[in-house]
């Protein structure tokens, strides 16, 4: 058993798999998330970790932590959500409200947990909408969130693509997301449009 740390948080690894999460982080997640969302977060964390390992990326634990924490803003009450948005992310207030939890999540991860890694915060901020010119971890979180094996459709070919080459896998996920959301009313937003323009043209 190997014990590895990210910032002050400790994780136990056994044969390249996470077997033990820092108890403080785990308690925090249990307080912030409902059961299904907690399971989804664990699943996205595992998937991100596997994608990082198979693409031979540095510090795969960082990908695990990003997946684990990405939805902590999901159940913030509306009043607090608006306050955090107004005080910290004014420029994104004109996005649809469903995107707010991503920004609120980044705020909570930084302020409640003291995680100030900019790559992680950036990835959490844009995991719902995507954006143009995304960093590596942002691409992997965006994709892993959409293709989580716990979701109700067969995403196995995209998971395979992400594990073989996350850059080409990501483009495929963006294409599929665009098709999926095309006919859903109220789902368009300018950041996703930037992402489509940037990556699909």
Cα–Cα dist 96/189, whole Å? 7
Q: Binding mask 14-33 vs Fe ion (x if CB under 5 A, - otherwise)?
A: --------------------
CA distance 7 to 200: 36
Contact between 1 and 19 under an 8 Å Cβ cutoff? The reply is yes
Is 145 near Fe ion (CB under 5 A)? yes
Measured in residues, the chain has a length of 201
Q: Which of residues 69-88 bind Fe ion (CB under 5 A)?
A: 71
| CB closer to Fe ion out of 8 and 113 | 113
Q: Which is nearer to Fe ion, 71 or 81 (CB)?
A: 71
**Residues in CB range of 138: below 8 A, 6 or more apart:** 119, 122, 123, 126, 127, 131
Span near Fe ion by CB under 5 A; candidates 90-98, 114-122, 145-153, 179-187: 145-153
Q: Least separation, in Å, of the C-beta of 56 and Fe ion?
A: 25
Whichever of 21 and 69 has its CB closer to Fe ion, that residue is 69
SS3 7: coil
CB of 145 to Fe ion, least distance (A): 4
Q: What are the backbone angles phi and psi of residue 20, rounded to the nearest 5°?
A: -150, 125
Nearer to Fe ion, 71 or 122 (CB): 71
Distance of CA 199 to the CA centre of its chain: 19
Query: Is 68 an interacting residue with respect to Fe ion (CB under 5 A)?
Result: no
Residues that bind Fe ion (CB under 5 A): 71, 145
């Amino acid at each position: 058993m190997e014990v590895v740390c990210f910032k002050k948080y400790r994780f136990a690894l056994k044969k390249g798999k996470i077997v033990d999460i820092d108890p403080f982080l785990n308690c925090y997640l249990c307080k912030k998330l409902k059961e299904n969302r907690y399971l989804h977060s664990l699943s996205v964390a595992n998937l991100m970790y596997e994608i990082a390992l198979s693409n031979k990326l540095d510090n795969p634990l960082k990908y695990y932590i990003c997946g684990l924490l990405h939805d902590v803003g999901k159940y913030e009450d509306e009043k607090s959500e608006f306050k955090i948005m107004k005080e910290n992310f004014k420029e994104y207030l004109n996005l649809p409200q469903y995107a707010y939890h991503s920004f609120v999540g980044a705020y909570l991860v930084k302020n409640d947990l003291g995680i100030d890694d900019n790559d992680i915060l950036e990835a959490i901020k844009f995991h719902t909408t995507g954006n143009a010119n995304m960093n590596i971890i942002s691409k992997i979180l965006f994709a892993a969130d959409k293709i989580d094996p716990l979701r109700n459709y067969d995403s196995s070919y995209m998971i395979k693509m992400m594990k073989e080459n996350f850059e080409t896998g990501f483009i495929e996920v963006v294409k599929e997301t665009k098709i999926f959301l095309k006919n859903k009313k109220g789902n368009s937003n300018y950041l996703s449009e930037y992402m489509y323009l940037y990556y699909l043209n």
